[in-house]
Structure 1
Amino acid sequence: MYSVIVVPPACARPGGQIRIASGESLTFGRRETPGGLTIAHEGVPRIAGDISAQRDFWLLTNRSADQTYVVENPEGAGEHIKVAPGRVDAPVAFEFSRVVLPAAGDLLAFDVWAPRQIFTGPEAHELPGSATTPAFSLDRTKRYFAVLAALCEPRLRGEPHAPTPAVDHLVQRLRPSWPTVKRSSVYWNIDYLALKLRVRPGPETAEPGRRANGKKEALVSLALRFDLVREDDLIVLASSASHTSRISRASRTYEGCA
């Protein structure tokens, strides 16, 4: 049974994918190798690296003498790891990964999927005694969560290095589901989130003119790092009509607080 799927560049059909069973390896590079992945570009080493499947994760070996490879998590809003030249068997635990190779001025990429990931069920946590206090207590039906979702939206939409939205942009983005929103309301919710999530802007953002930007950046960084806001949560930014119908289909409700 395969545990890792390698998707070559420009692969449009399942038949072009390469499946690797746990314990097996695949070599990639400019030179054609039996069962390997050929990347025909003069900037790619003849043998650029190896991918080894290990149950529900995989290992990356960088055989380049001078180029760092980057493995991105396309669903992680900028999450990535760097694999230095010569590094052997660097573990990658992303379910969906994009391997980026610098090649003579170009950036070449191919995908690696690890769909066999396993998670424990709720029964594994049903032990006697008091319940564990949640690390982050967020109510997705409140307007502060909609403000947090709007802050995170650009990076969740595939722009991992996007700046945090300005307050005026947040007001416009929130208005479809919150018609009476004002700048003061957004500022209040940002301050409330910073208090609730215990974040503070760093020393470099402490001067008066940059405090709001520092709070926004700190909130976005924390929310995305710990998956407090996911792409599915952006439904709270939908307009009232479409929001109501979509919530009905998903059996969810959204009732902001004043």
Structure 2
Amino acid sequence: MYSIIVVPPPTPGDERRDGRLRLAPGERLAFGRSAPDNDLVITHDGVSRRAGEITAQGAFWILSNLSARHTYVVENPEGAGEHIKVAPGRLDAPVPFEFSRIVLPAAGDLLTIDVWAPRHDYLHGAGGADGEPTAPAFSVDRSKRYFAVLAALCEPRLRGDPHAPPPTVDQVVERLRPAWPAASRTSVQWNIDYLAVKLRLKPGPENAESGPRLHGKKESLVSLALRFDLVREDDLAVLAAPQGRAPR
């Protein structure tokens, strides 16, 4: 059973550049400039003869950087700027992303290799789940208006701009108007303040010590929501006008 799919870069001269390479658990894929030494040949003068090695490990994969001087970056294209660095000579660095992009610096160019890890393994059965259930870390109700506000804050990064600043309150108001015509600066700001308390970024009003003023509140909310998947791309549907209601 294949668990890792490697999409080679569109490098001129690579006869397999349009194909996808599939690895089963335990299989390795060496890549680099030298044809005799590698399974995936990248014909670029800036790529090391033996540049690296990808190894499938069930539901994830590991990367070895065989370069003597170049750091490789592995990006999560869906992760709002999330990435890891693999230093020169580092062996067997685990990569936790389902969709990944290896970025190779090559004499002024940045070459990319996409790696997909579509296999998901889950625990099946009760597994001794007697007693009281575990309380959720973050409890959100996707039918509430505060969740629509959170979705609007996260939308720019979920739409593919990992470094986008959170929208302003006025921009959130305009974005919410199709689904919430009565949205206003006051109501949106109230929901942002409520989210900061609900997601435990600041103490609630019942706490005698309210703590210092939270600066960068919207940025903190977006970072937390995306880090723990409280808002996903599918959730942006809450921003659309209900069927039968035209945006005003």
Look up the SS of the partner of 2:22 in the other structure. strand
Instruction: Determine the structure 2 residue equivalent to 1:241.
Output: 243
Cα RMSD for the two superposed structures: 2.4
8 Å contact from structure 1 (residues 95, 117) kept in 2: no
Q: Distance in 1 between matches of 2:180 and 2:163?
A: 27
Q: How far does residue 51 in structure 1 lie from its aligned partner after superposition?
A: 0.5
CA gap of 1:137–1:126, structure 2 versus 1, over 3 A, is: farther
Match of 2:121 in 1: 118
User: Gaps spanning 5+ residues in structure 2: where?
Assistant: 203-211
Structure 1 residue 125: deviation in Å? Answer: 5.5
8 Å CA contact 1:70, 1:83 repeated in 2: yes
Structure 1 residues 159, 33: CA separation in 2 closer, same or farther (over 3 Å shift)? farther
Identify the residue that residue 252 of structure 1 maps to in structure 2: none
Match of 1:189, SS?
helix
Change (3 A) 1:68 1:129: same
The SS at the match of 1:41 is coil
Structure 1 residues 42-61: Cα deviation after superposition (integer angstroms, max 9, x where no partner): 22212110011112211100
The CA deviation at 1:177 is 0.7
Give the corresponding residue for 1:91.
94
Of 53, 65, 68, which aligns to 1:65? 68
1-structure distance, mates of 2:222, 2:83: 16
Q: Structure 1 or 2: larger helix share? A: 1
For the residues of structure 1 that align with 2:41 and 2:18, how far apart are their CA atoms? Answer: 16
Distance 2:156 2:226 in 1: 11
Q: Note the C-alpha offset of 1:136.
A: 0.5
Q: Which residue of 2 aligns with 1:190?
A: 192
Structure 1 177/106 Cα, relative in aligned 2: closer, same or farther at 3 Å?
same
1:143 maps to 145
Q: CA deviation at 1:77?
A: 2.1
Evaluate the alpha carbon distance shift between residue 175 and residue 60 of structure 1 in structure 2; reply closer, same or farther with a 3 A threshold. same
SS at match of 2:243: helix
**Identity percentage of aligned residues:** 67
Q: Which moved more, 1:218-227 or 1:66-75?
A: 66-75
Partner residue of 2:7? Answer: 7
SS at match of 1:241: coil
Q: CA deviation at 1:140?
A: 0.3
- Deviation, 1:114, is 1.6
Corresponding residue for residue 169 of structure 2? 167
Mapped to 2, the partners of 1:197 and 1:33 lie a distance apart of 55
* TM-score scaled by length of structure 1: 0.83
TM-score when normalising by structure 2: 0.86
Aligned residues: 233
Given that residues 10 and 18 in structure 2 are in contact (C-alpha distance below 8 angstroms), is that contact kept between their aligned partners in structure 1? no
